[in-house]
Amino acid sequence: MPTGVAMRDARAQLFDAAERVLVRDGPDALTSRAVTTEAGCAKGVLHRHFADFDAFLAELVLDRVGRIEAQAAALRDAAGTGTVAGNLTGAVTDVFGPVAVAIVGLVISRDELRARLRRSRPVGVPLLAEAAAMIASYLTVELEMGRIAADSEVDTLALTLIGAGHLLFADRKSAPPDAGAVGRMVETVMADVVQRRLL
């Protein structure tokens, strides 16, 4: 982009460009130059909006975290409808889209980014921690409705679903797992707490 031409919503364009580079080429390829080249703008545009590249990456991760927090409300609203396993299968599949999986890899691979994120999110891996909280919140509502066993450990179930989901989706060069594979994982994790007829 020529100097002097304003970008509309530069933050969103830079985030979108970073996500494309991240998904296509991986965390090691994500540099400020790669992002601005992908966005079609001068490198200085990024530095006008963010203190440095790690600040940009932290905001990128937090933007994704915000999307999960928005998904959490929709998932809680689904409690009592459909089946528990069906709702969870959809939620796990939504959480582990290609961008989210790539961002988890980015957080794990960059010490400075992790250190910045720890200032506001001291526990867990950002994105995964929020996904687990989303699932636990949903399961709490289902527990209150009597659709899962009263003695269910919702936090442990949520961590198990997110951990197993991450293993299913992470580091894949091929297509992501299909709904059947995700559904089988969810049903296995939930088998002891959900009546079979409600799966």
Is residue 8 scored above 90 in pLDDT?
Answer: no
Domain definitions of the chain by residue range: 1-49, 63-198
User: For residue range 18-50, what is the model confidence (pLDDT) as tens digits?
Assistant: 999 999 999 999 999 999 999 999 888 998 999
User: For residue range 63-118, what is the model confidence (pLDDT) as tens digits?
Assistant: 999 889 889 999 999 999 999 999 999 999 999 999 999 999 999 999 999 989 99
Q: Write the class of the CATH domain 1-49.
A: mainly alpha
CATH assignment of 63-198?
1.10.357
Output 199 or 37, whichever has higher pLDDT.
37
Average pLDDT, the chain: 89
Contacts of 50 (CB under 8 A, 6+ apart): 56, 59
Using the CB atoms, write b or e for 113-126: b if 16+ within 10 Å: bbebbeeebeeebb
User: For residue range 149-158, what is the model confidence (pLDDT) as tens digits?
Assistant: 999 999 999 9
Contact 170, 99 (CB under 8 A): no
User: For residue range 123-147, what is the model confidence (pLDDT) as tens digits?
Assistant: 888 899 999 999 999 999 999 999 9
Spatial distance between the Cα atoms of 128 and 139, rounded to a whole number of angstroms: 16
Is residue 162 scored above 60 in pLDDT?
Answer: yes
Given this model, what pLDDT does residue 50 score?
93
Given this model, what pLDDT does residue 175 score?
82
